[in-house]
Structure formats: structure tokens, C-alpha cells
Chains A and B, each alone.
Chain A
Amino acid sequence: MTIATAFLALLESRPRHGYDLKHAYDQHFGHDRPLHYGQVYTTLAKLLRTGLVTVDGVEAGGGPERKRYAVTEAGVTDVQRWLDEPESPQQYLQSDLYAKVIGALLTGRSATAVLDAQREEHLAAMRELTRRKRGGDLADRLICDHALFHLDADLRWLEHTATQLDALAAAVRA
């Protein structure tokens, strides 16, 4: 998902000023990476240029004029296209964890020690995410859950691999 696509979805929900758009983006999409104002106005300029967004109104206040932006029909179509297309599942075929296990077996070091150290690292990360999740709102909880489920999958792989090390060592050294 690009920043532009997120902006189109936010503007489809209702027209917004650039300032509101940044805060709504940070709340729903930014997580730990808030947008810079420069990115907001660069992205809006591009969306205006390509006809996906229009200026819905201009408010004069005490300070500079504030433009309110709205999505166009073409922008709504872009949002629909984004939602219609499933994301490609990541296949994780270039696994650093697997590479380290092979490295240990090739060099006669302990692959069990590699797996144990990695398990400890993963569990520590899961404890940290769980602490964060417990203090968060529903959005935080779901974002942390996404990370936790992925780490859990890694851990299952570590356990599975631990049971296959003898056979893998024989294959690697053959």
C-alpha cells in the first residue's frame, strides 16, 4: 500500500484538510512511522495532478488558507482496484534462520545452539509485543497480534527443525 492509496481511502470516507489527513494517516496506517508534512503535500500535489483528488474548498482563517481535499470518481476507482486485488502471500523461501542452521551444520558447530538462541530472541520479542498490546487500543492490539502470529510461526518452524537436525546434518555433510 502506498501513501497515495491510503490518502484516497481516507478522502473517500470524507473530505479533509492536509493537516487532518496526516493525523488520520498516522492513526490508521502510520503506526510507528508518522508522515512528515512534506510527504503529505508532495503526495497531494501528485494526486491533484493525476486527477484522483480535487480541491473541495478553501477556508481563509487567521493564518494561511486551508484547502480541503476530496476524492474524485477516478480516485474511488483506484481504491476499489486496490481492495479487489489480494496481496501476494510472502513465501519466506530465503530464510536467514534456515541459512544459519545450514551454516552451523556445514562448519561443525551446534545448530541446536543456533536454534536455542533464536528461540530466546523470538520469545523476548513476543513478550515485548504482548506488553505493548496490553496497553493499547483495539488497533494496537491487532497490529501487535499480526506480528505475534508471524513470530509464533517462526517458533513453530524452529521447533520442527530442532526435531530434524540429525537428518539435516547427514544431508548437508554428505
Chain B
Amino acid sequence: MSDALLIAEGLHKAYGETVALDGADLVVHAGEIVSVMGPSGSGKSTLLHCAAGLTRPDGGDVVYDGRVVSALDDGERSALRRREFGFVFQFGQLVPELTALENVALPLRLDGMRRRPAERRATALLERLELAEKARSRPGQLSGGQHQRVAVARALVAGPKVIFADEPTGALDSVAGERVMELLTTAAVEAGAAVVLVTHDARIAAYADRGIVVRDGRCAR
């Protein structure tokens, strides 16, 4: 196994009186797929949000590629997320007014790339995710599985080193969910991206190379 790309160590996070993380750890190596499982309220999504720089932990450190993420200012963290990380969530991540192609190209456009090359790269990813014929469709015209595959394409478009996926199949039936997982993991492996996959579903977690379990804000194993 190569050196760790991302290390989250001893993370603590509380929301008011509720302790979400109580010393949780996560190590991600380049190109590997790691599942994070645990019961509802165990802290697994908070662990993902802290590791990805979306949420500041109250204690502990996140080190990505030698940089201490918690020490970065908001602008630096935002740039890190845009250039190095990709995200897939369960709901509400596509812009409803944009086509699938425009949604996938969006991270590149926000980072200053011109429309033509951004859409060329987005088209290639939509093809990879077997959605070429849906490029001009808007999110409202897509099935749940197609919607998530567009989200996967968008997560991959900027060439991220890590994709953070929080219950990416949580709203899908089992066949559509497994298709999303097959395409997500295959495309991530081909792109050399690691995946941190938060799920409560063991059949989805089984697409990972290894897994951790979070219980009461700590890693059980």
C-alpha cells in the first residue's frame, strides 16, 4: 500500500450538546476505495465532512497530501475542495436549470476553464458513465440512477485525487444503486482517484477495497 494521501486523526466535533465525533480516525491511500459504515447518528457523515474540509472539527487534525487542512483559511480550503476533491451526495446536488452536460462541466467553468474544453471533458465523462444520450437533459428529466451518475461524472471532471461519496445510492432501488456503484468505482479506479464511501448499506460498502465502522463517534475497528 502506498503512503497515506489523507489522514484524519482524533477528530472531535459536537453540535451543541450532541457529540458527533469523539476521537474518530480515517486514513485514505491513493487510489483505494474505503467504506465508512455505521448506524444512523454514529457520526459517519460528520467524519466525511470533516475529512473533506466541508466542516471544521473542534479537535484533531486532517492532513491531506502533507497539508494540514484545518489550518487553511476558507479560500484555501475552497480551492482544495474544488481542485483535489470530488463530491457525490444523496440529494440535491445538480443545478436544475442546467443540462446534464452543463452540470458536469460546472466545476471546470467555475475554475476558469473555457466552455468548449470544459464541455469536451464533460462529454467524455458522460459517455464513460453511459449517459451520452442524456447530455442535453435537465435533472428533472432524469431517473434517480441517471441523476446520480451525472453527479459522479461531475465529481470526476476536475481530475480529483479523492471522491467523497455520502450515501450516493441512498435514494435508489438496489439495481440502480449497484449500477451507480459499478460505474463510480470503475471510473474512479481508471482515473486513479481514491473514494471515501459513506453508507449504511453493507451491499454497497462491499464495493470498497476495505472498510471502517463508526459507532458513537469513534471507529469501532
> Does A151 reach chain B (CB closer than 8 Å)?
yes
A-B contact count (CB 8 A): 38
Residue count of chain A within 8 Å CB distance of chain B: 18
Known contacts: A119-B213, A134-B182, A159-B39. The answer to whether A127 contacts B221 by CB under 8 A is: no
Within 8 A of A (CB), among B39-89: 39
Pair A126/B221 contact, Cβ less than 8 Å: no
Within 8 A of B (CB), among A110-132: 116, 119-120, 122-123, 126-127, 129-130
Alpha-carbon distance between A119 and B213 when the two chains are bound, in angstroms: 9
Kindly identify which residue among B182, B201, B209, B215 contacts A127, using a CB–CB cutoff of 8 Å: B209
Bits for B16-53, please: 1 = Cβ < 8 Å to A, else 0: 00000000000000000000010100000000000000
Determine the interface band of chain B, counting residues with CB < 8 A from chain A.
10 to 19
Q: Which has the most chain A C-beta neighbours within 10 Å: B201, B206, B207, B213?
A: B206
Question: In chain B, what residue has the closest Cβ to A162?
Answer: B215
Chain A residues whose C-beta falls within 8 Å of the C-beta of B207 in the assembled complex: 127, 130
Alpha-carbon distance between A134 and B207 when the two chains are bound, in angstroms: 9
Bits for A136-154, please: 1 = Cβ < 8 Å to B, else 0: 0000000000001101100
**What is the interface of chain A mostly: helix, strand, loop, or mixed?**
helix
> Does B220 reach chain A (CB closer than 8 Å)?
yes
> Does B202 reach chain A (CB closer than 8 Å)?
yes
Bits for B202-221, please: 1 = Cβ < 8 Å to A, else 0: 11011111110101000011
15 further contact pairs, Cβ within 8 A, besides A123-B206, A123-B211: A116-B220, A122-B202, A123-B37, A123-B202, A123-B205, A126-B202, A126-B203, A126-B205, A127-B206, A130-B203, A130-B206, A148-B206, A149-B203, A152-B202, A159-B39
